[in-house]
Amino acid sequence: MGESKLQVRKRILILFLIVVFVMLGIILRLAWIQIFNNELYQSKALNQRLRKLKVEPRRGIIYDKNGEELAISGSSQTVVAVPAEIEDPSKVADKLTLILDMERSEIYKKITKSAYAVYLERKISEKKAAQIKSLDLSGITFTEETKRFYPKGDLAAHILGFAGIDNQGLNGIELAYDQVLRGEPGRIMIEKDATGRMMPRGVEQYLDPTDGNNLYLTIDHVVQYIAERELEKALRGNEAEGGTIIVMNPQTGGVLALANRPTYNPNHFAKYSPGRWRNSAISDSYEPGSTFKIVTMSAALEEGVVNLEDQFFDPGYIKVEGERIKCWKNGGHGKQTFAEVVANSCNPGFVQIGQRVGKEDFYQYVKAFGFGQKTDINLPGEADGLVYDYDDIGPVELATMSFGHGISVTPMQLITAVSAVASDGVLLNPRLVDRIENEEGEVIKDFKSKEIRKVVSEETAKTTRDLLEGVVTDGSGEKAQVKGYRIGGKTGTAKHYGVQSYDSSFIGMLPIDNPQLVVLVVMKGVSSYPYYGSQVAAPLFHDVVKDTVRYLGIPPTEREEVRDREQEDSKEVEVPNLINYSFAEGQSKLRQLGLNSKFEGSGDQIADQIPKPGAMIRKGSTVIFFSDDALDHRSRYDITVPNLEGESLKEARSLLSELELKLEGEGKGTITSQQPKPGTRIESGDTIKVKLN
């Protein structure tokens, strides 16, 4: 019996100890929760009772350069359902499906959710909101949100882009500057019980949203309208896949207009295929054709391998590594000065110019002008373009690149590069945004013109502009002329591979003495005739510029009369023998004769020269010196032999003299044969032997 009582006591003691340990654990846990971690659990309890509602900020306004609204945010009604307050969900779903763009099953699922409140359809029209309000449905209410609106419809659509249902930027400027435009959301916090009812004397708090900042673009909405109007008219008059027009101020890099076709309305962007959203001015590459010759001529002038009086001969083709590159003119242009090569847009002439520049220097200029890399205009989807890797450039690739084939550029790259010629050789970063302001109108950030690099000298840029003026007054760009304005520019036509379709383009600048505008016109995939840049793009340039200069108030500048060359400049001088002289000595002697010089190679002693000693050339011409390690460069300056058959000795001698070649032959009558044959490439100063009948 005593033993049994002892066991009972032991069991009671064990049970007591267990209860003590459990109670101690509970006490310690309560102490941990209420003393050591009371702030954490108090916060969790409060969060369970608080309903946090997001208050949308108003997205910033996008203005053009003159303060015209291009993108704004307006109020819009969003339909909200409170499931606990809906008495007959089935009947409510039946009524709402007749108004909302939703399936009945989807509406029913939302209004029967186990949630305090759910969105049914956001940012509906005023008409729909009025229809729903007239039904007076219990549990169906509205909340006000902001909706992005583009008051000018499809104007500048590819620049502006669009914003989504949550006011987030999805394309264009709206996406690129989303963080600037979006602002910071506010909060409404209300304390409610477990059933969702507001608690008496419960917590209520309202945090104001911070509205987004406003953007001022460099775009002028009137110039943009002119560009889009004329592009639309041109597409109606030509069979083409689309087109692009860009208008830029070359002194600042500011884009005044950027128009693409086909286009879309950003107010209803979802109704268009994503291809319509694509900004082809920055995203699509194309072969620039002859418009790229501006880069070739600038490089050649800067390197001193050509001057205005240099003579070239075009028999209608040129052979490079066995490849026959044709001129657009049957039979070729014959004898031409460098200025005439530019005005005639002669491909064989530009091949010879590119050969003179050489692979290494030409590649450096292509890169310096910004090709093969983004312009950093800060728009989504910009392409790099396509340029050969240096090691992949052979004689044929160099030849085709010199007249704009075998290279792909974006319209924005091309107009940025040509604007460097218009701004005295300075390459500027293109820009679309002028400044950022807050709600109070205070400037947060001002976007100044940004110089990237100096690509050519001021003198080279001026000479290039003068040559481009000749293209408009006397060459293929004649239809781009606007009365009273000196304009320089270049046409371009490039065929699509495998199909009868062309890209026709023209790029021009004005006034030529101090350019204020550079305008690029590209008509893509032209399949109707005529398709040449001179017939399709140049007239479109004229139509855009004619109204733009009037609107901007750019005064007309009458073309200066071409001054006659002084008698001294028209004289010919004999090239002295400067082989074995130092470069400095040779340069000094040529300067005394009114001649220019260029030295190729790394040595200092002249091992050879072009033209040869004894050749007669005009003052102002350039003599090329070569050191021992650059003698293989002489072939760059080879001259194409003209066809002399049927010419008299006097006529032939005059022609060859201008090409810096010699003539050997005697007799009367006309030339019946010659050696070397026409089209052969020979060195300057070489002799052509002829026979007469």
Active site residue 290: yes
pLDDT exceeds cutoff 70 at 46: no
CA distance 210 to 174: 18
Contact 395, 320 (CB under 8 A): yes
Provide the pLDDT for residue 3: 63
| Residues listed for the chain | 693
CA distance 253 to 262: 25
Q: Mean pLDDT score of the chain, rounded to an integer? A: 86
Q: Which helix (H) or strand (E) holds 339?
A: helix 338-344
pTM: 0.79
Mean pLDDT of 60-87: 87
Provide the pLDDT for residue 621: 75
Provide the pLDDT for residue 41: 63
Answer yes or no: same fold for 572-637 and 640-692: yes
Query: Percent of the chain beyond pLDDT 70?
Result: 92
Burial of 218 (0-12, 13-18, 19+ CB in 10 A): buried
Provide the pLDDT for residue 567: 43
Max alpha carbon distance in the chain (Å)? 160
**Domain 221-436+444-552 architecture:** 3-Layer(aba) Sandwich (3.40)
- Within 10 A of 270 (CB to CB), how many other CB atoms are there? 9
Provide the pLDDT for residue 268: 92
- In the 8-state DSSP scheme, what is residue 635? G
Distance of CA 517 to the CA centre of its chain: 16
Which residue shows structure tokens 């001129």?
A: 327
Taking only the tens place, the pLDDT of each residue in 623-667 is: 888 898 888 888 778 888 888 888 888 777 777 777 777 888 877
Contact 350, 293 (CB under 8 A): yes
Confidence class for position 462, pLDDT limits 50, 70, 90: very high
62-63/118-124 β-pairing? unpaired
CA distance 85 to 83: 5
Phi, psi (degrees; rounded to nearest 5) at 115: -150, 155
**Residue of 283, 290, 298, 408 marked catalytic:** 290
Mean pLDDT of 346-368: 94
**Greater pLDDT, 284 or 595:** 284
Mean pLDDT of 366-388: 94
Distance of CA 70 to the CA centre of its chain: 21
Q: Which of 18-22, 135-139, 508-512, 686-690 has the highest mean pLDDT?
A: 508-512
**Which stretch of 5-14, 184-193, 495-504 has the lowest confidence by average pLDDT?**
184-193
Helix ranges restricted to H, 511-648: 533-552, 583-592
Domain boundaries, the chain: 52-217, 221-436+444-552, 572-637, 640-692
HEC string of 476-542?
CCHHHCCCCCCCEEEEEEEECCCCCCEEEEEEEEECCCCCCEEEEEEEEEECCCCCCHHHHHHHHHH
**Domain 640-692 architecture:** 2-Layer Sandwich (3.30)
**Which stretch of 80-89, 455-464, 510-519, 558-567 has the lowest confidence by average pLDDT?**
558-567
Mean pLDDT of 588-607: 85
Identity at 581, one-letter amino acid code: Y
Taking only the tens place, the pLDDT of each residue in 184-222 is: 877 766 555 555 555 555 545 557 778 899 999 999 999
pLDDT exceeds cutoff 60 at 463: yes
User: Who contacts 602 (Cβ-Cβ below 8 Å, separation ≥6)?
Assistant: 627, 629, 630
User: Between 3.40.50.720, 3.40.50.700, 3.30.70.270, 3.30.10.20, what CATH number should domain 572-637 receive?
Assistant: 3.30.10.20
CA distance 358 to 299: 10
pLDDT exceeds cutoff 80 at 418: yes
Q: Which CATH fold topology does 52-217 show?
A: Penicillin-binding protein 2a (Domain 2) (3.90.1310)
Taking only the tens place, the pLDDT of each residue in 538-550 is: 999 999 999 999 9
Mean pLDDT of 476-497: 92
Strands (E) located in 208-291? 214-217, 242-249, 254-261
Contact 464, 421 (CB under 8 A): yes
Provide the pLDDT for residue 383: 95
Query: Residue 679's closest CA among 348, 329, 357?
Result: 348
Provide the pLDDT for residue 203: 47
Mean pLDDT of 299-306: 92
Confidence class for position 565, pLDDT limits 50, 70, 90: very low
What would you report as the CA-atom Rg of the chain, rounded to the nearest whole angstrom?
Answer: 38
Confidence class for position 569, pLDDT limits 50, 70, 90: very low
Structure tokens at 251: 């002194």
Provide the pLDDT for residue 351: 94
Structure tokens at 226: 């002119």
Confidence class for position 309, pLDDT limits 50, 70, 90: confident
